[in-house]
Amino acid sequence: MYLRSFLPSVSHGRLKRVAPVLALCSLFWGSGCRTRPGSPELVMHCEITPQPVRVGPASIALTLATQSGAPVSGASVKIEGDMTHPGMGPVFAQAEAAGPGKYAGTLDFTMPGDWVVSVQASLPGGARFERRINVRGVAPR
C-alpha cells in the first residue's frame, strides 16, 4: 500500500480501455489523485495495516512532506473512506499527529470490496491538501 498516492484513482486495466474517452474528458474533468487547485505540492505516503486489508478497523499511517523532503507538521488531517459502489455510506476518521510530518488514524472498512480513501489536510497557514488512495479488494473479515 506504500506509495499508493502516486496511483491514479482508476485502475490500470480500465484506464487502458477508456483512455481515449478519458483523454477527451480530462479537458474538463480530472480523475486521478486529486489535489485541490492552488493547494501546495506535497508528497504523501500512506501505509494501511493490516495487509491485505480486511473488513474492520485498519490503521492508516500518513507521512506528509514538501517536495524537498521537509516534513509537514501541524496539519489537521481528515480521512474519509468510500466504497466504489453507490448506496453505501462513507466512513470518517480524524488522523492524529504521530511525529514530525506523520499522522495516524483508524478507519473502519465496513464491507468487502473496492474502497477509495480520501485524505484532506488543512495545513498550517490555511492551505488545503487533498489526495486519494485506492484500496482495492478489501477482503471479508
**Rule CB under 8 A: which residues touch another protein?**
9, 11-14, 17-18, 25, 28-31, 82-90, 92, 111-114, 116, 136-137, 140
Phi (first) and psi of residue 16, to 5 degrees: -65, -40
Please spell the DSSP secondary structure of 17-77, one letter per residue.
HHHHHHHHHTTT---SS---TT---EEEEEEEESSS-BSEEEEEEEEEEETTS-B--S-EE
Residue number, 65 or 78, with CB nearest to another protein: 78
Residue number, 40 or 112, with CB nearest to another protein: 112
Supply the minimum distance, in Å, between the C-beta of residue 89 and another protein: 4
Please name the residues in contact with 3: beta carbons below 8 A apart, sequence gap of 6 or more.
45
Supply the minimum distance, in Å, between the C-beta of residue 88 and another protein: 5
Residue number, 11 or 73, with CB nearest to another protein: 11
Supply the minimum distance, in Å, between the C-beta of residue 124 and another protein: 25
